Structure 1
Amino acid sequence: MQDARLIAGSRHLTRPARREDGQPPTDTGAAPSLRRPAAVAAAFTLAQLALVVPGLGLGWDETVYVSQVGPQAPAAFFSAPRARGITFLVAPVAAFTTSVEALRIWLALLSGCGLFLALRVWRRLLPAPLLAAAGALFATLWVTLFYGPQAMPNLWVAYGALAATGFLLRAVRNPADRWALPGLGAGVALAALMRPTDAVWLALPLAVAAPLLRPARRRTLAVLSVLAAGLLLGCAPWIAEAYAQYGGLLARLRRASEIQGHLGWYLAVDDHVRALGGRTLCRPCDVPWRHPLSAVWFLALPLLVAGGVRAATRTRHRAPVVLATATGLVVAAPYLFTVGYAAPRFLLPAYALLALPVAQCLARAARRRTAAVLLAVAATAHLAVQYRILDGVADRVRRDTVTLGRVAAELHAQGVRPPCVVSGEDAVRVAFRTGCASRQPSGHDGSITPRGLAATGQRLPVAVLVSDLGGTPSYARSWRVHPLPDLGHRTGLRAHLSPGAAPAG
């Protein structure tokens, strides 16, 4: 219902007169202009703390990022596509405590502040009620709520993209805006620090738009220079690491493509539709589409966006809404057409930007009383579906968290204690909870040979995890076997324990 009230409230917007310089009027006061977006950001934070944070352990990707700075276990293998941005974000907490709940609270607070600041950038471009409606539409998606308190980069790319797009418009509209150019550079740098390739796609439409918005030539050069500087600054750690560990930038890009299944032409739209039913990763996404209601809003999104652009062309909001739409479509394109699998979090930057034209569309429709009632009903149904999916996803992760704790306890009892090594299925999460290093003799990691792992097992505790899904490696077949609790779809989970692992007592 909050979405409906925010949308309906925009009916009371009046169209203020333009300033003498021909530019749209700025807000007359900071408090009135920011009150509604601030309320949305606060509600977003509280919803995370209540619905997501309690009992939610670290996922596989999160474990990789946190292990780079956490004291709990040796750092997990950091593959070519990953960037260090999210590790920097979690370091102030993860470097000093092993408490996952403390980390979740920290990230929930940060993500709430991030949403507010990203919306605040637009306060001179769009009315506060419209921004609040867009923020509410974005924040109430299950994928936004679920990833708000998680150590994952996509939401932060979304904030960087939203902020950078708004700052670019402010930079070309008002040369006296002292925050516009630094903000543009910071927004692009944030996105690049989190996911460099996403930032490149973000920079493309912004670079094209800068001269089309017809600022002074000197201003265009300044905007393009800042855009390039922000991109290079954010990508610098990733590029430096490419030369230090991969033999160059092109080599790292090739390796990243291999790990992501060889980027190329794929039609992954249907994969994303199926993934919205509650799959955090759909790879390969050959599963049946069991929850059609979960994707109704996604299928309606193109129509709502088109309606918002059409409505905006009749108002002073045309440039902000059109640029947000164009940028959102461009940042979505690589995940819809070049990656052969789906994860709902991939499209968070697109959802954040496209929420603006959708809010514009709904605000115009809500001017009619009948339409406002229908929107209120639709918003209520939408929130119910989003909550149900969120609850199911979070519950599944919580069950895995409990099971992983039992697996770690079993391994400890069997003598797998630091310094130790865990290999095999779900080794990253199990190793982190056990305080061990995770090493794989094949796959993306490939940081040790089978012979090397076998030799390590003679002097240190080594556990090779195997389930009914896969066979036992030859070097571990003679090792002691201990059954473990089933972990999700991994039934028959067991640990092959090396001679270096001696049971307690």
Structure 2
Amino acid sequence: MVKTLNVPLVGARRHGPPPAARGSRRPGGEHWLVLVAAAFTLAQLVLVRPGMGLGWDETVYVSQVSPHTLAAFFSAPRARGVPLLVAPIASWSSSTTLLRVYLALLSGLGLFLALRVWRGLFPIRVLAPAGALFATLWVTLFYGPQAMPNYWVAIGALAGVGCFLRAQADRFDQAALWGAGLSTALMAWMRPTDAIWATLPLLVLVVAVRRWRRPRLLLALVAGLVAGAGEWIVEAYVSYGGLGQRLADGSRIQGGLGWNIAVGDQMRSLGGRVLCRPCTGAMPNPVVMVWWFVLPLLAVLGLVIAVKARRTAGTLLLLACATTAGVPYLLMIGYAAPRFLLPVYALLAIPVADALVHLVTTPSRAWRPVAVTLLALGLAGHLAVQFAVLQATVQRTTVSHRGWASTAAELHRFGVRPPCLLTGHQAVPIAFYAGCSSAATSGHNANATPSDIVRAGQREPVAVITTPAGRPPAYARDWAPHRAGDLRVYVAPGAGGGTV
């Protein structure tokens, strides 16, 4: 049976480091975590292709700090964590390849640090497979090098629970205390509401359970949430009409949060649909979905193993935080994106790896080769499915992004060059590629009126983009029509527009 250090987590008073902390400083073993993180980084660079181009949401985040384009409309649910994350590169370079390499390296480092927190709480032979399981999911590989927040919420959640356990075990462990606060701040910096859901079990324990009360740990968690979400809250009052209004707007943009079982939507997204909205159509092949059903079963087995070994605290907290982190995206939202559940997958990785290691190490010598063979075959099939979905998703996404770049080039040919303004179908990402600003008169990104757009056309090139079957708005029906690939473009007269 896999053994971990039995760290006393309640009522312990120590004047020296706990067993977990002593174990974490023992030489050897850490190189396996380095290898997992390095392999994860390399796999991103090889399989996801640094030149894939930026996606819709990425263009919004990067445009906030890029000097090469105007900032896109920043809707209520978004937070400023990603723009700050990419600023060291995006603030001076327009190279998507350089940005992808930077994010791949950073995501590998983040995975290593999050796993390292758990040294001594679980053995390396559990932590290394746990990191590998999480890192080889297609959704982890796909979003690791992207300018998106969900992977970083996952890393913050995994590190935060580990630091919480260490701080509970030893009230003198200042590093764990700081780690808990910084991990919580990272989550709130990226997505404030996700941070609340992911840390809810920790807050409940440290407030409501007498033996778990640690005032300094509570202060660290709360300070982390406030530090990470502080700018988001201030911005709510400055630009969105208050915190309540921003939360209401965010709920409306996400389809109205409330009781809505989205499990089926998430299942449909497993085949590589990066955004399933509206989430209709057939389910993917059962082979693609089987791991999703095996995952919770193995997590429960990990809990059973932990109970028998009398070391339930770590496993139980991981499962509790995974559950609360998944609640809004499985039960309260009307659409799906596979990246939403990245924190859940990261938190479940350790209990699942613990269960798998137990399955191949506890059978008798006669049955052990059979167990190892079956597990190896199962993991090989799982990896084959993950990489097949990843390859198809990367290819499809790359084609989409190249289409936006091609449309931007056509717009330049029509005389729509910076400074310029785009509105209409897919105007946000196309505007980024073209170096223009974007505007919308309706929908989630509404930030202008028709008269605003008409007036802009008197100062700079303005274009309306529609689908082939679409019709331009009334104010643009007399504008010069053009064809740009599969799209139609209507260019306003004057200010340099409308010429070829």
Instruction: Report the TM-score, using the length of structure 1 for normalisation.
Output: 0.92
Q: CA separation of 1:344/1:100 partners in 2, compared to 1, >3 Å: closer, same or farther?
A: same
Hey, what's the Cα distance between the residues in 1 that align with 2:317 and 2:30?
22
- 1:344-363 equivalences under 5 Å are 344-363=338-357
Q: What is the match of residue 315 of structure 1?
A: 309
CA deviation string 1:102-160 (max 9, x = no partner): 00000000000000001111112111110111111100000000000000000000011
Q: CA separation of 1:175/1:469 partners in 2, compared to 1, >3 Å: closer, same or farther?
A: farther
Q: What is the match of residue 484 of structure 2?
A: 484
**8 Å Cα contact 1:38/1:116 also seen in 2:** yes
Q: What one-letter code is carried by the residue in structure 2 that aligns with 1:395?
A: Q
Q: What is the match of residue 157 of structure 1?
A: 153
- 1:97-108 equivalences under 5 Å are 97-108=93-104
Q: Does 1:269 align with 2:253?
A: no
Structure 1 vs Structure 2: percent identity of aligned residues?
A: 51
Coordinate RMSD, CA, aligned: 2.0
Hey, what's the Cα distance between the residues in 1 that align with 2:191 and 2:223?
16
**8 Å Cα contact 1:209/1:323 also seen in 2:** no
Q: Does 1:80 align with 2:76?
A: yes
CA deviation string 1:245-288 (max 9, x = no partner): 11211011111111111111100011101101100000111121
Q: Does 1:237 align with 2:231?
A: yes
CA shift for structure 1 position 209? 2.6
Q: Does 1:225 align with 2:214?
A: no
Q: CA separation of 1:69/1:408 partners in 2, compared to 1, >3 Å: closer, same or farther?
A: same
1:341 aligned counterpart, secondary structure: coil
User: Which residue of 256, 259, 264 maps to 2:253?
Assistant: 259
1:422 aligned counterpart, secondary structure: strand
Hey, what's the Cα distance between the residues in 1 that align with 2:245 and 2:44?
39
Q: What one-letter code is carried by the residue in structure 1 that aligns with 2:124?
A: A
1:55 aligned counterpart, secondary structure: helix
2:52 aligned counterpart, secondary structure: coil
Q: CA separation of 1:24/1:423 partners in 2, compared to 1, >3 Å: closer, same or farther?
A: same
2:322 aligned counterpart, secondary structure: helix
Q: What is the match of residue 148 of structure 1?
A: 144
Hey, what's the Cα distance between the residues in 1 that align with 2:295 and 2:209?
26
**8 Å Cα contact 1:172/1:215 also seen in 2:** no
Q: What one-letter code is carried by the residue in structure 2 that aligns with 1:287?
A: G
Unaligned ranges ≥5, structure 1: 1-10, 487-492
Q: What one-letter code is carried by the residue in structure 2 that aligns with 1:358?
A: V
- Number of residue pairs the alignment of both structures matches: 486
CA shift for structure 1 position 471? 2.7
**8 Å Cα contact 2:404/2:430 also seen in 1:** yes
CA shift for structure 1 position 211? 5.9
Q: Does 1:129 align with 2:122?
A: no
Q: What is the match of residue 64 of structure 2?
A: 68
Q: What one-letter code is carried by the residue in structure 1 that aligns with 2:173?
A: D
**8 Å Cα contact 2:33/2:127 also seen in 1:** yes
Hey, what's the Cα distance between the residues in 2 that align with 1:170 and 1:228?
17
Q: CA separation of 1:55/1:216 partners in 2, compared to 1, >3 Å: closer, same or farther?
A: closer
1:231 aligned counterpart, secondary structure: helix
Hey, what's the Cα distance between the residues in 1 that align with 2:123 and 2:493?
68
2:287 aligned counterpart, secondary structure: helix
Q: Does 1:395 align with 2:389?
A: no
Hey, what's the Cα distance between the residues in 2 that align with 1:151 and 1:216?
37
CA deviation string 1:320-345 (max 9, x = no partner): 11111111111111110011100000
**8 Å Cα contact 1:65/1:151 also seen in 2:** yes
Q: CA separation of 1:469/1:307 partners in 2, compared to 1, >3 Å: closer, same or farther?
A: farther
CA shift for structure 1 position 212? 7.4
Q: CA separation of 1:469/1:112 partners in 2, compared to 1, >3 Å: closer, same or farther?
A: farther
Q: What is the match of residue 8 of structure 1?
A: none
CA shift for structure 1 position 215? 4.8
Hey, what's the Cα distance between the residues in 2 that align with 1:14 and 1:326?
21
**8 Å Cα contact 2:481/2:490 also seen in 1:** yes
Hey, what's the Cα distance between the residues in 1 that align with 2:5 and 2:71?
56
**8 Å Cα contact 1:172/1:210 also seen in 2:** no
2:50 aligned counterpart, secondary structure: coil
Hey, what's the Cα distance between the residues in 1 that align with 2:329 and 2:49?
28
Q: What is the match of residue 285 of structure 1?
A: 279
CA shift for structure 1 position 502? 3.8
Q: What is the match of residue 244 of structure 2?
A: 250
Hey, what's the Cα distance between the residues in 1 that align with 2:425 and 2:358?
52
Unaligned ranges ≥5, structure 2: none
Hey, what's the Cα distance between the residues in 1 that align with 2:228 and 2:7?
37
CA shift for structure 1 position 55? 2.4
CA shift for structure 1 position 18? 8.3
Q: Does 1:195 align with 2:212?
A: no
CA deviation string 1:1-56 (max 9, x = no partner): xxxxxxxxxx7x66679899896554264541311111111100000011113321
Q: What one-letter code is carried by the residue in structure 1 that aligns with 2:99?
A: L
1:494 aligned counterpart, secondary structure: strand
Q: What is the match of residue 376 of structure 1?
A: 376
Hey, what's the Cα distance between the residues in 2 that align with 1:387 and 1:14?
32
Q: What is the match of residue 302 of structure 1?
A: 296
Hey, what's the Cα distance between the residues in 1 that align with 2:51 and 2:7?
52
Q: What is the match of residue 331 of structure 1?
A: 325
- 1:13-32 equivalences under 5 Å are 24=19, 26-27=22-23, 29-32=25-28
Q: What one-letter code is carried by the residue in structure 2 that aligns with 1:87?
A: P
Q: CA separation of 1:91/1:447 partners in 2, compared to 1, >3 Å: closer, same or farther?
A: same
User: Which residue of 52, 57, 75 maps to 2:53?
Assistant: 57
Q: What is the match of residue 37 of structure 1?
A: 33
Hey, what's the Cα distance between the residues in 1 that align with 2:395 and 2:27?
39
Q: What one-letter code is carried by the residue in structure 1 that aligns with 2:315?
A: V
1:152 aligned counterpart, secondary structure: coil
Hey, what's the Cα distance between the residues in 2 that align with 1:462 and 1:79?
22
CA shift for structure 1 position 469? 5.5
Q: Does 1:472 align with 2:465?
A: no
CA deviation string 1:435-462 (max 9, x = no partner): 1101111112221111221222233211
Hey, what's the Cα distance between the residues in 1 that align with 2:209 and 2:246?
36
Q: CA separation of 1:311/1:211 partners in 2, compared to 1, >3 Å: closer, same or farther?
A: farther
